[in-house]
Chain A
Amino acid sequence: MNSMLVAPAIMVGIGLFFGTILAIAQRFLKVDEDPRIEATNELLPGTNCGACGQPGCLPFAEKLVSGEVDPGQCTVSTDDNIEQIAEYLQVDAGRQEKLVARLRCSGGHLQANQIAEYLGFEGCRAAAVVSGGGKGCSWGCLGLADCERACTFDAIHMNANGLPQVDTEKCRACPDCVAACPRDLFELMPLSQNLYVQCNIPLAGEAAIQLCEVACDACGKCVADAAPGLITMQDNLPVIDYSSGGEPRPDAVFRCATHSIVWLEREQFQEQESRQARSG
């Protein structure tokens, strides 16, 4: 009987001993974590997309509480959420202008000159490493939906013309598509910015037009028609500088023969599809 009790007694003894150590450690080695970090983290979307420049939502919450960043830098949260966080932390929301991803190409299956058929598996980068895909243009969209697959927010869908269409409502300007595109065609720009170049061909004149119907042939009419300094030609492509002070007006695009510079009014490719309808 006695020997039977020895084992439980030892176990209880060990338990009490380590329990005491834990109790002491809890009392003297305690680290105070700001409860606001946890609460702020709860208010963040939890997608860990990295659009804010932080590795994830929790590090962003830590930076928020320490005041290093503004709640507005989270591009994924809704406006209400950002208000809530700002109110909770008693800071300025630091609202940022909404950015969306825009594709610098409008040469879909219907416009770009096709020189070969790509038979490999679906994926832009996979096609890009095999002879650069089937399109004659070496700079344009390959149309095999790497961006659609990379998008965290289901904001990109391929349209019938084989070009990605960005849903500006859903787009949170995380840089997923920018990193995924093997041709570096995506650019994050403010939603309010209407004037936009939809071509990436650094060739001029005939050479560009041979590759694609809607290529920029670097004629320079948009530069002449826009406010001075607003548009400049760099590497045979117009570059729009919104900070130049010139007022952007739709006039700049009127004389573009290939519609490679556009004035966006609505969704990115609606304009172009209606143009096809007109010509077809």
Chain B
Amino acid sequence: MEAFRFLRRNFEHGVHPAHHKQQTENLPIQRVPFGKDYLMPLGQHIGVPAQAVVTAGEKVRRGQLIAKPGGFVSTGLHSPVTGTVKTVGDFRGVDGRFAPAIEIEADPFATQQVDVNAAIDWRSLSLEEFIEAVQMAGIVGMGGAAFPAHVKLSVPDGVKIRHLLINGAECEPFLTTDHRLMLERPEALLEGAEIMRQKLGAEETVIGVEMNKPDAIEILKQHIKPDQPIRIVPLKVKYPQGAEKMMIKSVFDVEVPAGQLPRDVEVNVNNVGTIVAIADYFLRGMPLIERVVTVAGPGVTYPANLIVPLGTPVRDVVKFCGGLKPGSREIIMGGPMMGRPIASLDAPILKGCSGVLVFTEEQTARRKEYPCISCGRCLEACPYFLNPSRLARLSKSRMFDEMKDYHVFDCVECGCCTFACPSNIPIVQLIRTAKDDLTHRKEPEA
């Protein structure tokens, strides 16, 4: 039976969007030149915002801590450039709400080099010290959700992590950051994986890579040392293969029940970018101050994979890529399936931003919406086995409370249902609306 195991490497449901990766998959990662203004929102991660430890007018060095964690589910923040803190105040965030942020003006004469610290001796750190170090380094899940990495590392007593799963699926169309990282920095990835595995006490490391990246699989295989318990699992090309619960199902054939976490099935899942960030911190002493971003889409003149310092305005990134083509209409931060459009080019690149995608008139035109014909395609697409058509109908009738009975909070907004819908119903948007209403609604005083 073991020979046929690969046949089961799959999860139920999901969709097959065109991957559109040819634009950037062969372009090596470049570094963007430093600009003038940088904006670091304090709430770049899921959880409690960080607390600023600098004040306006203060000189900061690249890589210096500018905000400390505001709680346990919170991370540190470091200056992406050497320069002067201009303001510490409220700025319009990517979600449209004003939130505290630190504005830094880069020093045009600085070398902008991180003083590469000596490698941190991670072997001598206890698990608690290691977790604290990861938190202070500001490392979050780089796949898009920006969930603080140290929270995943701190497992309660009695829970044993047996497998470290590294997510190199990159199932979102257009994005090629993880692909390029695997190709260009396999040593860092494997070293980071080794650090994580030993600290977690896991038995083996599994790297899941979608089969549309054969070159990455090849290079990683070449770099694995024979004594390392690392194996590479090629995965079927299917969206959302990179959702952690789907990946666990594909690789280990285990389902993570609703409301539970991967650690409940003895697995710890981390993105390729996160692992590289951990390697950068422990081997080179560099905290999370820059990330790889794919700039692509039909509206970009020169698509590219870029190393961008955090807090760089999207304007500068787009300008570096030759600017916007005429007719550009919409800019999405993240992937086309789950990313969010931004309202202003001043929006900064955040820790969780894996792509900047520019779309033109043609792709953003809203197709005419037809009534739901109860075809059931969204049900067949939903990897979480929800009933999107029913949820959309309830949301349209503003019956938000009833949606809880249909498990609306189990939805991860992956977008499969909307992709599959032949009637062009914006199902995910309706569900997002309902979730926002249920969590933020102002209850009238009785």
Q: Is the CB of B442 within 8 A of A184?
A: yes
**Of B94, B97, B344, B433, which one neighbours A115 at CB under 8 angstroms?**
B344
Q: Given that A131-B95, A138-B92, A179-B444 are known contacts, is A123 also in contact with B342, CB under 8 Å in the complex?
A: no
Q: Which A residues lie within 8 Å of B329 (CB)?
A: 119
| Contact string against A for B residues 318-353, beta-carbon threshold 8 Å, 1 for contact and 0 otherwise | 000000000001100000000011111000000000
Q: Is the CB of A182 within 8 A of B341?
A: no
Query: Which B-chain residue is minimally distant from A133 (CB atoms)?
Result: B96
Q: Is the CB of A129 within 8 A of B436?
A: yes
CA distance A149 to B440 in the complex (A): 19
Q: B446 interface residue, CB < 8 Å from A? A: yes
Query: Which A-chain residue is minimally distant from B347 (CB atoms)?
Result: A131
**Of A53, A120, A138, A149, which one neighbours B98 at CB under 8 angstroms?**
A138
Q: Is the CB of B95 within 8 A of A53?
A: no
**Of B329, B433, B441, which is in contact with the most chain A CB atoms at under 10 Å from its CB?**
B433
Q: Is the CB of A126 within 8 A of B430?
A: yes
CA distance A132 to B364 in the complex (A): 18
> Chain A: how many interface residues by the 8 Å CB criterion?
28
Q: B249 interface residue, CB < 8 Å from A? A: no
Q: A128 interface residue, CB < 8 Å from B? A: yes
| Contact string against A for B residues 87-123, beta-carbon threshold 8 Å, 1 for contact and 0 otherwise | 0000010111110000000000000000000000000
**Of B440, B444, B446, which one neighbours A182 at CB under 8 angstroms?**
B440
Within 8 A of A (CB), among B406-446: 426, 429-430, 432-433, 436-437, 440-444, 446
CA distance A55 to B216 in the complex (A): 60
Q: A11 interface residue, CB < 8 Å from B? A: no
Q: Chain B interface: which size bin?
A: 20 to 34
Q: How far is the CB of B400 from chain A (nearest CB, A)?
A: 10
Q: Which B residues lie within 8 Å of A121 (CB)?
A: 366, 369, 426, 429-430
Q: A116 interface residue, CB < 8 Å from B? A: yes
Q: A155 interface residue, CB < 8 Å from B? A: no
Q: Is the CB of A131 within 8 A of B398?
A: no
Q: Which A residues lie within 8 Å of B441 (CB)?
A: 179
Q: Is the CB of A131 within 8 A of B340?
A: yes
Q: Is the CB of B433 within 8 A of A126?
A: yes
Query: Which B-chain residue is minimally distant from A125 (CB atoms)?
Result: B433
Q: A150 interface residue, CB < 8 Å from B? A: yes
Q: A134 interface residue, CB < 8 Å from B? A: yes
Q: Given that A120-B426, A132-B97, A184-B442 are known contacts, is A115 also in contact with B330, CB under 8 Å in the complex?
A: no
Q: Is the CB of A131 within 8 A of B432?
A: no
Q: Is the CB of B436 within 8 A of A125?
A: yes
Q: A16 interface residue, CB < 8 Å from B? A: no
Within 8 A of B (CB), among A130-170: 130-134, 136, 138, 149-150
Q: Is the CB of B341 within 8 A of A131?
A: yes
CA distance A37 to B437 in the complex (A): 35
Q: Which A residues lie within 8 Å of B433 (CB)?
A: 123, 125-126, 129
CA distance A20 to B352 in the complex (A): 74
Q: Is the CB of B369 within 8 A of A132?
A: no
Q: Given that A116-B343, A178-B444 are known contacts, is A131 also in contact with B94, CB under 8 Å in the complex?
A: yes
Q: A175 interface residue, CB < 8 Å from B? A: yes
Q: Is the CB of B96 within 8 A of A132?
A: yes
Q: Which A residues lie within 8 Å of B344 (CB)?
A: 115-116
Q: How far is the CB of A138 from chain B (nearest CB, A)?
A: 5
Q: How far is the CB of A121 from chain B (nearest CB, A)?
A: 5
Q: Which B residues lie within 8 Å of A184 (CB)?
A: 442
CA distance A189 to B148 in the complex (A): 44
Q: Is the CB of B343 within 8 A of A125?
A: no
CA distance A149 to B433 in the complex (A): 14
Q: How far is the CB of A259 from chain B (nearest CB, A)?
A: 23
Q: Which A residues lie within 8 Å of B97 (CB)?
A: 132, 138
Q: How far is the CB of B336 from chain A (nearest CB, A)?
A: 14
Chain A residues in the interface with B (C-beta under 8 A): 53, 115-116, 119-121, 123, 125-126, 128-134, 136, 138, 149-150, 175, 178-182, 184, 188
Further 4 A-B residue pairs, CB within 8 A, beyond A119-B330, A120-B426: A121-B430, A129-B436, A132-B95, A182-B437
Question: Could you list 27 examples of A-B contacts with CB < 8 Å?
Answer: A119-B330, A119-B341, A119-B364, A121-B369, A121-B429, A123-B433, A126-B426, A126-B429, A126-B433, A128-B96, A129-B95, A129-B429, A129-B436, A130-B96, A130-B340, A130-B341, A130-B429, A131-B96, A131-B341, A132-B95, A136-B92, A138-B98, A175-B444, A178-B444, A179-B443, A179-B444, A180-B398
